[in-house]
Chains A and B, each alone.
Chain A
Amino acid sequence: MSAPVETRWGRLANFWSDFRQSPVAVAALIVIATVILMAVLAPLVAPQNPYNQETLDLFDARLQPGEVGSGGYVHWLGTDAAGRDVFSAILYGLRTSLIVGMMAGTFALVLGAVVGLIAAYYGGRVEALIMRVIDLQLSLPAILLALVLVAMLGQGLPQLVAALVAAQYAYFARTTHGAASAERRKDYIEAALSTPIPARQVLFRHLLPNALPPLIVVATVQVANSIALEATLSFLGLGLPLTQPSLGSLISNGFQFLLSGRYWISIYPGIALMLTVVAINLVGDQVRNVLNPRRSR
């Protein structure tokens, strides 16, 4: 049983040696690692807890980047209208954004994979019906679906994640269905199904693994899309309240001050958002190239 483990490690090593051919992708990976680390360590790194109203002082409101506030430390990225340290708010905001993005990405992956597998496995009318609905959903922009769902479900973290999942699972479903149904048509699956092997085993041993590489690619991109979509919804005032700031609500919070020249309240959270989203996309691009080299050139 040691052989498969070895090949798995070997494959991983191969993957990595292909992956690092692109210095841009490696840099993006480092950015992502840093961002995650900062978000995880936010309570230790941040000079202030932006959730805690008691530590906020209105005298510190709208300080320029680099000014020292009443807390006695430098606000490197300035403060917002409530006296919140922008740097701390970004760290905490990253936490929220990443949690929302990853949760939405994971749930959408699971839901989409299950739906796609069911369609590929049963075939016939079930498949036709499911894929029709998926196609229809995909033809509608995710932002529109998310808007409606947020409007229907109300505001809050679980509602937001649910809306993002509902808006994005269709991508996973189509990807899974595509890969799995191609495999489903092969003779060995038919053969396996005519034996007493439980269908579950066929699904997870044969159909799912074939769908995995494209799913990984879609998942990376969809995490970035979830983060961006959440930020957009929060910016539109339909996402998370400012007491639980995500990057989107932070940017929205500073938008009104942008025209008066107090750029930092919006711009720095925006830069953090942009770095995160672009880095994830770049990594996703390279993963796609490595997993499917024919498509890269």
Chain B
Amino acid sequence: MWKWLHPYAKPERAYQLCSTLQPYFFWPAVLCILVGSVWGLAFAPQDYQQGDSFRIIYIHVPSAILSMSTYVAMAVAALVGIVWQWRTAFMAMIAMAPVGAVVTFIALFTGAAWGKPMWGTWWVWDARLTSELILLFLYLGVMSLYGAFEDKQQAGKAAGVMALVGVVNVPIIHYSVEWWNTLHQGATISKFDKPSIAPEMLWPLLIALLGFALFIAAVTVMRMKNEIIRREYHRPWVKEMVQSAKETNHAV
């Protein structure tokens, strides 16, 4: 069933796949983020309670949701790397870690900026905020563990184990607002019920969410390509690629 995936264990094929996918991720991402944020920030109606301050939702919610999705994707890559011993899987894992860390930081930062005017505080140690902060530390842990080893296959294994252990935090973040009393409100769109947000506010949010997702994918494949080249620069296929790129440049 998964046989079609196997060729991508080879760095060369993975590199080609990344090159093919990159424009399909990048340009729609730019479009969606532009449309979503302009629509959300300028044209969506005010909130009945929070007025204009609620508009930070168009940055905060996509980054918060995707900080968790990116972590799960990173952990899947780590699992594949550990069980199937694919070198490219570890490369994908480490390509995603800094992206996820930045997205988590954006979620925490915009959350603080939103919390100050609405709640009256930048930070409170409630379950949702604390578990999201732990997510940031998990990303940083994966990155530094990977950086600590000279042998990158070994580094991938160690960081992969850490990434897998951290998965337990993802459902905790999601359900923290239900399991415990928190200052943070409950889920608005990521629940099975009808979203508790008016449709004219929801659409730009969904577009921004799609835009953020595509942007993360685009940055991930770019970083993945870099990682492949960094690890494989002495291989013949890289040399050939550089050679042919030079030739085309000269021809131009």
Please determine whether chains A and B interact with each other in the same assembly: no
Instruction: List chain B positions with a Cβ less than 8 A from chain A.
Output: none
Instruction: List chain A positions with a Cβ less than 8 A from chain B.
Output: none
